[in-house]
Amino acid sequence: MGKLEDCWRQSVSRRRALCGLAGFLAGSPRLAAQQDSFRDHSRVAGINEMVTAFDFEAVAYAKVPREAYDYTALGVEGEFTLRRNREVFDWVDIIPRAMADVSSVNMSTEVLGIKMESPIMIAPTAGHAQLHPEGELATHKGATAAKTPLIVSTAASFPIDKIGAAANGQLWFQLYATETEDGNRELVERAVAAVAARSR
């Protein structure tokens, strides 16, 4: 083997150089600190500047772990339903009328025999503990204060009996059916027992 071949054999190949660079970058703490180039992190609005629920999204993105943010903010598949839900807010204009008499406005309604001050309920979503230490327990307290039902997800962070014990407000249960009839029955019976214990 000549000098040229020996030099090639001992030199760093392109593949070895790229593998070394990838290993260096993967272990670098600066990689985790890189900000998303598609978002402006220069300033987060103050609480007195926030007008809509969507104004809180930048705060959540900056403050909560990325896994929790992605679970909360993103949708499934093509995110058609997520986009459609957001577009709905653009279909309605709330026009302030400073001199209008709103004393006769009544948003109360009744759903399945339950009277509510407005037609708004807390939808069944899982994993509240990713965003608050008390998870669905705190959500149930908030729903009770707002006098609206909390619909507890089958995949909640806490068992439904603990959620039910956290407050005295209305509690509904969303059943994701399991493969067995016995499993479904057990989930429903636990939900019924939790509601019964709360109403005593």
More confident residue, 51 or 41: 51
pLDDT digit string (tens) for 177-187? 888 999 899 99
The pLDDT assigned to 62 comes to 82
Q: From CA 158, how far away is CA 135, in angstroms rounded?
A: 7
Residue spans of alpha helices (H) in the chain? 3-10, 14-27, 29-33, 57-63, 66-73, 80-88, 135-145, 160-165, 181-198
Per-residue pLDDT, averaged over 76-87, amounts to: 88
The pLDDT assigned to 73 comes to 87
pLDDT digit string (tens) for 83-113? 998 888 888 887 777 777 888 889 999 998 8
Q: From CA 153, how far away is CA 187, in angstroms rounded?
A: 11
The pLDDT assigned to 104 comes to 87
Neighbour-count burial of 161, counting CB atoms closer than 10 A to its CB (0-12 exposed, 13-18 middle, 19+ buried): middle
User: What are the distances in angstroms from CA 187 to CA 119, 172, 197?
Assistant: 27, 13, 15
The pLDDT assigned to 142 comes to 93
More confident residue, 102 or 152: 152
Per-residue pLDDT, averaged over 129-148, amounts to: 93
Q: From CA 100, how far away is CA 97, in angstroms rounded?
A: 5
Q: Residue 61: is its pLDDT beyond 80?
A: yes
More confident residue, 4 or 169: 169
**Residue the block writes with tokens 């900000």:** 35
The pLDDT assigned to 32 comes to 54
